[in-house]
Structure 1
Amino acid sequence: MIYIALVIVMIVAVLITVLPVMRKEDLIFLDDMSDKSIPLEERKRSVYKTLGEIEFDYKMNKLSEKDYKRLNNLYRQKAVNLLKEEKEKSGDIDQEIEYKLSRLKKGEMYE
């Protein structure tokens, strides 16, 4: 009976150790934020998640006020840049739609 209990405890210990390593969620580092091969939504999600973690760590006294302000400002700037990038992309799409609609109204065909 003791052997069965020990085996179960060992299996649980191995699972607790191995499962976090096997998780699929990839981390996006600050240097990767400008990498256009990573989708914009994924970069935004990562920045917002990091901002939340910074806030949580500060409230749990894991970050000094100086470090909190530095990291918070850094990631807020990244968030602003991503929002600007998103706005530019949506502006380009809006312009293209307006252009195609104006051509349709004029009776012109487009490819």
Structure 2
Amino acid sequence: MHDISIISMIFSAALALTCLFLILSPLFKWDTYLHLDSKNQDLATTKEALLTTLNEIEFEYKMDKISPADYKHLKKQYETEIATIMKEEEMISGTTDKDLMAEVEKEIEEQMKSYKNKRRDEK
């Protein structure tokens, strides 16, 4: 009988701690610790929404639903916002993109050399 009360106390304590965690967890922003790249994802989502809106504005202009003056104003506004987001994305990714581009260019050069050598051998 003594063993049952110890087991029930351990089970009750575990249940209480689980309930306490579930109640208090929404008060903490765990996603800031788990998602280090969330700002970049937010920028990409915002940029995608702005590009979609820009396409819709262009479609409405072609369908003569908005005036040319409104079209020019809205297009300039959204293009400015998209450019700002692209600059922020570039600042965040910065050196990673440069390294990646250098690596890609190197691979392209190697492929071109091997292609030229293969063509030379065929002749």
Query: With structure 1 as the length reference, what TM-score do the two structures score?
Result: 0.49
User: In terms of Rg, which structure is larger?
Assistant: 2
Higher helix share: 2
Query: With structure 2 as the length reference, what TM-score do the two structures score?
Result: 0.44
